[in-house]
Amino acid sequence: MPGPLVQARGIVRRFGHVEALRGVDFRVYPNEIVGLIGDNGAGKSTLARILSGADQPTEGEILVDGKLVQLISPRIAHSYGIETVYQDLALAPDLDPAGNFFLGRELMRAGLLGRLGVMNRPAMARQTLSEIVRLGVSLHDPAAPVADLSGGQRQSVAVARAAMWATKAIILDEPTAALGVVQTNAVLDLVSKVRDAGIAVVLISHNMQQVLDVCDRVEILRLGQSVGHVPTGGTTIEELVTAMTGGGLRKAHP
């Protein structure tokens, strides 16, 4: 079995006298979706911010492809192929999907025009359309401002943008929390396609049924500590809830 694409070892994060994470171990492998679950205050978002470079651990280490790295900013995390989609999506509503795909990574025209800051909009539009087609994202108008898209389409744009740039892992923080059933299914289908392309996916969700339906295995946090890791096959919602609330696990992943 190949080694983990991204691994956290002994992660501690203190905020003053409060320990949000207490020696957490976490790993995600190629071609898998890992559910990261836990009650409110368990440390899920703190761990996600550390893996995405938005926060740094007080103690512990992060490895990418087995090598120690310092994820001191989101830009550094991006350079290691780690992308994150937060609940607020961080999309620019007045820009079209291409403008959002290349936000902060704009392609410039060759020669003097590029030196003058003229963007190569046709090239960005072509690459964006190619990624949208590759992932099967359904948009009523790929050139429309993101503000004109439905909630599910905006979420799909955010996930597809992450997929275009990620080479190791994508972290999704409650990607379907505000979506209806049809839109949720479309986004989760997109997440599965991202996994099948070889990218590791970390799915943070409070929806236990969704976690069991989509994820390959589940990592459980409670009060800032790792309390279990199980394959989704044969695992029940009741077992996950019991582990989240301190009742332990009947079985663990090898």
Confidence at residue 249, expressed as pLDDT on a 0 to 100 scale? 60
Can you give the pLDDT at residue 1?
A: 63
- Nearest CA among 166, 150, 160 for reference residue 193: 160
Q: What pLDDT does residue 52 have?
A: 95
How far apart, in whole angstroms, are the C-alpha atoms of residue 198 and residue 28?
Answer: 12
pTM of the full structure: 0.88
Instruction: Assess contact for 216 and 32: CB atoms under 8 A.
Output: yes
In tens, the pLDDT along 189-221 reads: 999 999 998 899 999 999 999 999 999 999 999
C-alpha–C-alpha distance, residues 8 and 56, integer Å: 12
Average pLDDT for consecutive 10-residue bins of the chain (254 residues)?
89 95 95 94 94 96 96 95 85 94 92 88 94 88 91 90 93 85 86 90 93 94 92 91 77 46
Three-state SS annotation for the chain: CCCCCEEEEEEEEEECCEEEEEEEEEEECCCCEEEEECCCCCCHHHHHHHHCCCCCCCEEEEEECCEEECCCCHHHHHHCCEEEECCCCCCCCCCCHHHHHCCCCCCECCHHHHHCCCECHHHHHHHHHHHHHHHCCCCCCCCCCHHHCCHHHHHHHHHHHHHHHCCCEEEEECCCCCCCHHHHHHHHHHHHHHHHCCCEEEEECCCHHHHHHHCCEEEEEECCEEEEEEECCCCCHHHHHHHHCCCCCCCCCC
Which pLDDT value is given to residue 253?
45
Residue 136 has a pLDDT of 86
Instruction: Return the CATH class of domain 6-91+166-244.
Output: alpha beta
Q: Which two tokens stand for residue 165?
A: 């740039």
Q: Which pLDDT score is estimated for 179?
A: 81
* Cβ atoms of residues 62 and 51 within 8 Å: yes
Q: What is the pLDDT of residues 20-38, one digit of tens each?
A: 999 999 999 999 999 999 9
pLDDT for position 87: 75
Domain segments of the chain: what residues? Answer: 6-91+166-244
Reading the block at residue 206, the tokens are: 């409070």
